[in-house]
Structure 1
């Protein structure tokens, strides 16, 4: 787990004690008594926020590492007006009778103009604008 904490400990501030640990006396359970537990429990509840902050920090670190590993393989492609491109074929534009053998790409199309950052208006090779879907 990225946080190195169990969900139970993040909510309640202590580790869960399973029933078999009560039957087979372990040092963790054997050395505790009711009065000592009642005295220590409020202190443990105060440390829940600390555990949650540590978990958030670890989670953010883990997410940054994952994003870095993912983004290192991405190659940015810039297109120019006049380039020929292919467009992904979606369910609504595919031939319904083609099944799995339908082409996954449509085109080629001509980049006519830039709509926004890295978004383009496409046209057919004859010059007809391609409608947006």
Structure 2
């Protein structure tokens, strides 16, 4: 499950939850309570609601950060101090989101007011 959409990629692509083949041979609640008619009804309901599920996931993705939120920026391999090795920090200091031009592109500024040039 993705953290920001709360949906699995399988459900967004195929309109229903994944069912592992091994689960068919294991006596669990899902297998024991299976009924063809209820399953068909649920599949039709899932097909009816998939548009809303996808729109909700898209909305959550586009507005993952809001203006004013504090975020951490990942160190790039080019700017990381090689003397620290693999035990060095992975994230830079906190930044504040100051603008959002397009989807998943945010302009940041440090807490002291210094603005990053590129989103």
Distance 1:33 1:76 in 2: 59
2-structure distance, mates of 1:56, 1:22: 33
Match of 1:72 among 109, 112, 118: 109
Displacement, 1:63? 4.6
Distance 2:115 2:64 in 1: 24
TM-score, with structure 2 as normaliser: 0.52
Where do residues 76-87 of structure 1 align in structure 2 (5 Å cutoff)? 76=115
Cα pair distance change 1:35/1:71, threshold 3 Å: same
The 4+ residue runs of structure 1 with deviation greater than 6 A are none
Name 2:82's counterpart in structure 1.
Answer: none
Partner residue, 1:34 = 36
The Cα RMSD (Å) is 2.7
CA contact (8 A) 1:3 1:58 kept: yes
> Residue 13 of structure 1 aligns with which residue?
15
8 Å Cα contact 2:109/2:115 also seen in 1: no
| Uncovered stretches (5+) of structure 2, i.e. residues with no partner | 72-95, 99-106
Alpha-carbon distance between aligned partners in 1 of 2:109 and 2:24, rounded to the nearest angstrom: 50
**Matched pairs, number:** 77
What is the CA deviation profile of residues 9-36 of structure 1, one whole-angstrom value per residue up to 9, with x for unaligned ones?
1122221000121111221232122222
Cα distance in 2, alignment partners of residues 72 and 25 from structure 1: 55
For structure 1, the residue ranges without an aligned partner over 5 or more in a row are: 78-133
The SS at the match of 2:97 is helix
Change in CA separation of 1:3 and 1:29 when aligned onto 2, cut-off 3 Å: same
